[in-house]
Structure 1
Amino acid sequence: MDALLTAAGPEAQLSRLLGTAPHRLVAGCVTTGRWESDLRACLDLLADQSAAADGLITEAVAPVVAGGKRLRPLLALATAYATWCCAPDGAAPGRPAREEVCERAVRGGAVAELLHLASLVHDDVMDEADVRHGAPTVNVREGNIRAVLAGDFLLARALAVAGDLGPREGALGCATFVRLCEGQARESATLFDPARTEDAYYEAITGKTAALLSAACRLGAMAAGVDAAAEQALADYGHHLGLAYQLVDDLLDLTGPAYRLGKPAGHDLVEGVFTLPVLHAVRERPRLAGPLAALREDAGDGAVQDVLGEVLASGGPAYARAAVAEQTRHAAGALSAAAGALTPAGHAMLSELVTCLAGRTY
């Protein structure tokens, strides 16, 4: 375990993340030094928070904390940066100083990421998942009891950091985790149900994905001290970006090669999670309802591949791509509503992030 912790520590994570397109984009809008410093501070904070427990829990959560894209810290910092990037040093009248903005955005990003990590650990228990980020899940390595405790611990640390930032941040942390639970509950209620509605699908991903990205952007806006209207507009930006991001993930689950996904195509079908392209395919081809429902009893490779082939041959993927485009338009509209609080370079950077995160190949 010591070797694993060393190999996956903050410096190793930093090196990996700095090579990815979203992180390069944000670094290019400020400076590489500024981005490395703030991202390292966030990774160090995540490591410190995950280690602030009994050794058994620390060992359990270490691989979970070591993986991932760190999109939530990225969005918290990017949103804060967008209010002053490429502007002269110093604070605008009535606004916090730059170093204070960055420090609070780092902590806000850690709040959103810890909430995310807690939800992943709990999700893996409920899904009986075996692998996360290419490593065995906590429930596989440590058992369900310790996994639940590890998830609870990460949640507690998230809320502690949020509360230290202030009462508004603390309340936002609590409300966001409630929305995560609601999203998971709505998804669980429609497993293997080919009659699942689009509204039910969007309600689930709003809680499971969009709520966290929205919270990350709001925390960045709060750190920057923007007015209430701009804060809401930036939270809306994160919400629509989160929906677009999840829609792309759901498309990739059907169309992406296994070596990129880290799992076989059609994994959501095996789990009984019928996503937007699948739901549209059922409307277009009602005969699919029977084979989809039957996956509850027979999710063997043959049955899954038959259903997957029908979905890919339908208009479902194109319908979902149109939904991605719609959400990216909404994200752009939200940015326009926040334009008064953003520098031109900051506005451009957040716009490009939408393209970068929602424009992945699918």
Structure 2
Amino acid sequence: MDSLLQTMSSSPGNVGEQSGAHVLRLMELEPHRLVAAFATEERLAADLLACVDLVREEAGSGDELIARALSGVVSGGKRLRPLLALATAYATWIGTPGAERAADRDRAVRAGAAVELLHLASLVHDDVMDEAGVRHGVPTANVRDGNIRAVLAGDFLLARAVAVACGLGQREGMLVSETFARLCDGQARESALLFDAARTEPDYYDAITGKTAALLATACRLGALAAGAGTEAAEALTSYGHHLGLAYQLVDDLLDLTGSDERLRKPAGHDVAMGVFTLPVLYAQEEHPRLAGLLGALQPEDDGTVREVVDLVKDSSALRRTRAAVDEQTRYAVGALSGAAAGLTPAGLAMLSELVACLARRAH
């Protein structure tokens, strides 16, 4: 596979040398290995490389000042959303003689790039709102170039995401546009309840449905559309992505409380410190009444109180209950695949089932 990536990234002026190294690292991750085992390493590496190159090219296609602001944004990440777009397309094609065409494979790559550009746009905006200093180990755009230029850079990525999606068709362009609206809605719901100890479980799910699940659902739907899946299969794969996204966010919220600082690349309890009270914290309040008082009095940069909150969450059944919620969303995701079974190959169905289980295993 190394020789394949070196060959593909050797053309003059191509950004592929950086992309190729990034893809090599991605191929070591468990979800990527799982999809590669189904589609072959060569196919997945080539398609991810094409997707990452397209993302880099689109991000660098604007004004020099915007391109500079975005220089660190496209350098890292797990590329989970492009992986999902490709995986759902593969699950439809591979194993069905004559089903795959070169043009459809290119559409799947472009679908993955569109959803990744949308994801990156949301990250740039999130960093501005959170006043974040580092992402993927490098300074954020808002730190390097200021909030105004960072917001413009995020808007530029959004515009390029819609443009790439519109190149696939009107429905794809509308889907990406509507998804960004849902991302904004989820972020607004979360922002409205920052440092609010009265936040409820429905409030939490409303926020992550927009912030996380909408984007993963769109990745799966775009992959299905690229593969020419029928309406029923596309809807089922969209539901699969939705529940996968909820499970994925629940796992992230667990790890924020249980992971080490080195593993997370941020202090444990970061969400609590930022005033985002996630499901484990909400569960823990039911067992520790004084937790509501701590959360209600919490101030930014109050590290001592954050540590006390994290300790109380761990000293409760909240982590176990949240893991149960992850398992529930995993079952819903796998169950949704039954609606797409007629449009998927049997091996593709098994691969997607194992993929959601693989992503959920991080919680245990």
Aligned equivalent of 1:131, options 131, 134, 154? 134
| 1:73 corresponds to | 82
| 2:343 corresponds to | 341
Distance in 2 separating the partners of 1:162 and 1:34: 22
Alpha-carbon contact 2:240-2:334 (below 8 Å) kept = yes
Distance in 2 separating the partners of 1:350 and 1:288: 39
Question: What aligned pairs does 1:40-59 form with structure 2 within 5 A after superposition?
Answer: 40-59=49-68
Alpha-carbon contact 2:323-2:363 (below 8 Å) kept = no
Distance in 1 separating the partners of 2:184 and 2:351: 31
| 1:234 corresponds to | 237
Aligned equivalent of 2:197, options 194, 201, 204? 194
Instruction: Give yes or no for the alignment of 1:271 onto 2:274.
Output: yes
Alpha-carbon contact 1:215-1:238 (below 8 Å) kept = yes
Question: What aligned pairs does 1:1-362 form with structure 2 within 5 A after superposition?
Answer: 9-88=18-97, 90-91=98-99, 97-295=100-298, 297=299, 299-362=301-364
Closer, same or farther: CA 361–282 of 1 in aligned 2, 3 Å: closer
Q: Report deviation, 1:9.
A: 2.3
| 1:94 corresponds to | none
Alpha-carbon contact 1:29-1:86 (below 8 Å) kept = no
What are the Cα deviations for residues 208-267 of structure 1, in whole angstroms up to 9, with x where unaligned? 100000000000000111111110000000000000000000000000111111111100
Q: Report deviation, 1:6.
A: 7.2
Closer, same or farther: CA 207–137 of 1 in aligned 2, 3 Å: same
Q: Report deviation, 1:361.
A: 4.4
For structure 2, the residue ranges without an aligned partner over 5 or more in a row are 1-13
Distance in 2 separating the partners of 1:6 and 1:172: 29
Q: Report deviation, 1:21.
A: 1.0
- The one-letter amino acid paired with 2:307 is Q
Moved over 4 A (4+): 5-8
Q: Report deviation, 1:202.
A: 0.4
Alpha-carbon contact 1:194-1:282 (below 8 Å) kept = no
CA RMSD of aligned residues (A): 1.4
Alpha-carbon contact 2:254-2:363 (below 8 Å) kept = no
Closer, same or farther: CA 191–81 of 1 in aligned 2, 3 Å: same
Q: Secondary structure at the match of 2:233?
A: helix
Distance in 2 separating the partners of 1:263 and 1:48: 30
Q: Report deviation, 1:101.
A: 2.0
TM-score normalised by the chain length of structure 2 = 0.94
Aligned identity (percent) is 65
For structure 1, the residue ranges without an aligned partner over 5 or more in a row are 92-96
How many residues of Structure 1 are paired with residues of Structure 2 in the alignment? 351
